[in-house]
Structure 1
Amino acid sequence: MNLKPLGLALLLVLAGCEKPHQGQWLGYAEGDTAFVAAPLAGWVTDVKVKRGDWVKKGDLLFVLDNTSQTASRDQALAQIAQAQSQRASAEASLDLAKRQLDRQKGLMQSVATSKQAYDQAKSAYDAAVAQVAAIDAQEAQAKATLSSAAYQLSQRQVVSLTTGRVQDVYFRQGEYAPAMTTVVSVLPPDNVYVRFFVPENQFARIKLGQKVKVHCDSCGDGLVATIAFIASSQEYTPPVIFSNQSRNQLVFKVEARAEGGLKLNPGQPVDVDPL
């Protein structure tokens, strides 16, 4: 039996099997998640997203009960309407007081009235001016209250201020969310980076701003990132003293990022090579 063709075929098959890439340093993908919290405490009345959804800036994430905020807004609107109604009457009184004061001034010049009558007209005019000013102040205060109430009301519908994938939803409809407590977390793609570990005996080879090549399963020719962080202390410290053997156990944490983020999933293992 001739085994040469069989042996040649086996060699060709083995040659076609590419050896998995073994990077210089090992690490994993990581991401800086945006944690979207409830600005103020309240009952969650609706959740508009679920884990895995892609959201854009401005998309509604969740809704909080707005009963109190709606009442504050309506009260402020009523105070404004009342102030405007009172102002019309106060302005009419001010106009009458001004005409009477002007008349008393004319009579005083012709010595046809008394100083007491003039003083009374002046006092009535000043009181009318003060009344209009007080109503204006009340209206201004009510408008400020309305502005605050409208803002608080708008905060009951929480929208995303970033674009990315929803990582988790921590509160559901009917649950009470304390103030400043995360309700939804979103991972923007720009925030995905790699974290890897460099042995102590190779630590001198790396520096901030250095380019590295990132390899992973199904990444093709790999991705290029820039070293943006180098830990100032080792990750693993053997006890007592450093010996030649224990120094090999030291590794330093390093992070590399790319503009626009890396197309990786957090937790995905990677190999990293220096460029």
Structure 2
Amino acid sequence: MDKRTIIVLGVVMAVAAAFAVLWFHKAPAEASWQGYAEADFVKVGPTQQGLVTAVHVQRGDHVVKGAPLFDQDDAMDRAAVDQAAHLAQQARDQLANLQGPAKPTEIAQAEANLNDAIAARGKVQADLQRNETLLASGSATKQVVDQERADLASAEAKIAAAAAAVKQAQAPLGRADEIVAQASAVEVADAALAQARWRLAQRSVAAPVAGFVADVLARPGETLQAGAPIVSLLPPENIFIRFFVPEPSLAHVHPGDTVALTCDNCPPDVTGAVSFVSPQAEYTPPFIYSESTRAKFVFLAEARPKPDQAALFNPGQPVTVKPRAASP
């Protein structure tokens, strides 16, 4: 081998050694995981079966919390409210009747009877006093005095009876247990009225949350079962990112960690917090586990963007997730 060949080989070996050093000492590629945007839709439906009479929103609308979404036919519920209201008023009237005194005319009659008995007693008392004086002088007989004393006792008894009649007329008509039972009946009637009003209110359904109308699933004229969705809402805070972490990187992903989220036309500072890491592999290819194939295990994880950034993503949109420092 001549000297020139030896020099060329030396140069080649030096270059190869330099490439080898660069290869083994180059910075490791930044970890990134593929994912996509997903969302928890709020599907709003009626609480009871009925005919849909109006839908107040359409796909693509933005609604605030409390905005009307749809109405159902409420004719039967209005009639039920009217019936329950009348029954409740009837129960209250019956209770008031049991708690109230007799008629004013009956009370006036009882009071007049008492006054008459008092007047009669006064006459008997006056006659008795006069005849007791005459008895001492012999102008009246003992028999007459005894009779007037008996008349006075009878008059006192009549006064007591008349006074009791007045108290009875002024007292509640019902017995105590009747009043308690009727008070319970009033509570039952009021509860039935409240239930009827609630059922009527449910015929007009409002948005439980603010959000984007993702879909309208029924139209006026359709009769739906209770719970069947009519409007699908997407609140921005319900958007999250699903991504898949290879098994070798799983130990570096924890709930609460901050991750960077990138997508087409997204600003560069979009971040999210890891909210879920699956405890088991989502996809397990048909192979025997070994050190060389463990990277094929992929684990599902989820991250929640900040509320003010969640609306940047649309469900199904591809997203790249990169790790960042764990959130405090």
User: TM class by shorter-chain length?
Assistant: 0.7 to 0.9
The answer for the alignment partner of 2:321 in structure 1 is 272
Instruction: Label 1:205 to 1:86 Cα distance change in 2 as closer, same or farther (>3 A).
Output: closer
**Aligned residues of 2:69 and 2:207 also touching (Cα < 8 A):** yes
Deviation at residue 155 of structure 1 after TM alignment: 0.8
Deviation at residue 84 of structure 1 after TM alignment: 6.1
- Alignment of 1:110 onto 2:110: no
User: Counterpart amino acid of 2:317?
Assistant: Q
The answer for the alignment partner of 2:51 in structure 1 is 43
Deviation at residue 162 of structure 1 after TM alignment: 0.5
Deviation at residue 43 of structure 1 after TM alignment: 1.0
- CA displacement, residues 219-251 of structure 1 (integer Å, 9 cap, x when unaligned): 131411111110000111133631234423211
User: Counterpart amino acid of 2:227?
Assistant: M
**Aligned residues of 1:100 and 1:121 also touching (Cα < 8 A):** no
Instruction: Label 1:23 to 1:95 Cα distance change in 2 as closer, same or farther (>3 A).
Output: farther
Instruction: Output aligned runs, 1:133-172, within 5 Å.
Output: 139-172=186-219
TM-score, normalisation: structure 1: 0.77
Gaps of 5+ in 1: 1-21
The answer for the alignment partner of 1:73 in structure 2 is 81
- CA displacement, residues 10-53 of structure 1 (integer Å, 9 cap, x when unaligned): xxxxxxxxxxxx97110001111112121111111111111111
Instruction: Label 1:84 to 1:236 Cα distance change in 2 as closer, same or farther (>3 A).
Output: closer
Deviation at residue 109 of structure 1 after TM alignment: 10
- CA displacement, residues 160-182 of structure 1 (integer Å, 9 cap, x when unaligned): 01011111122211111111222
- Alignment of 1:59 onto 2:105: no
3-state SS of 1:232 partner: strand
Deviation at residue 74 of structure 1 after TM alignment: 1.1
Which moves more between the two structures, 127-136 or 64-73? 127-136
Mapped partners of 1:28, 1:226: distance in 2: 15
3-state SS of 1:219 partner: coil
Deviation at residue 101 of structure 1 after TM alignment: 7.7
Instruction: Label 1:122 to 1:203 Cα distance change in 2 as closer, same or farther (>3 A).
Output: same
The structure with the largest alpha-carbon Rg is: 2
Higher helix share: 2
The answer for the alignment partner of 1:176 in structure 2 is 223
Mapped partners of 1:257, 1:136: distance in 2: 54
Instruction: Label 1:240 to 1:271 Cα distance change in 2 as closer, same or farther (>3 A).
Output: closer
The answer for the alignment partner of 1:15 in structure 2 is none
- CA displacement, residues 169-224 of structure 1 (integer Å, 9 cap, x when unaligned): 22211111111222211010011111100111211221121111111100131411
Mapped partners of 1:96, 1:68: distance in 2: 44
Gaps of 5+ in 2: 1-29, 118-153
- CA displacement, residues 121-156 of structure 1 (integer Å, 9 cap, x when unaligned): 859956445677776655544333322222211110
Instruction: Output aligned runs, 1:228-267, within 5 Å.
Output: 228-239=275-286, 241-260=288-307, 262=310, 263-267=312-316
Instruction: Label 1:143 to 1:93 Cα distance change in 2 as closer, same or farther (>3 A).
Output: same
Instruction: Label 1:257 to 1:54 Cα distance change in 2 as closer, same or farther (>3 A).
Output: same
Q: How many residue pairs were aligned?
A: 254
- Alignment of 1:29 onto 2:37: yes
| Percent identity of equivalent pairs | 35
Instruction: Label 1:269 to 1:116 Cα distance change in 2 as closer, same or farther (>3 A).
Output: same
Deviation at residue 75 of structure 1 after TM alignment: 1.1
Pick aligned residue for 2:237 from 183, 190, 207: 190
Mapped partners of 2:107, 2:243: distance in 1: 82
**Aligned residues of 2:101 and 2:172 also touching (Cα < 8 A):** no
The answer for the alignment partner of 1:221 in structure 2 is 268
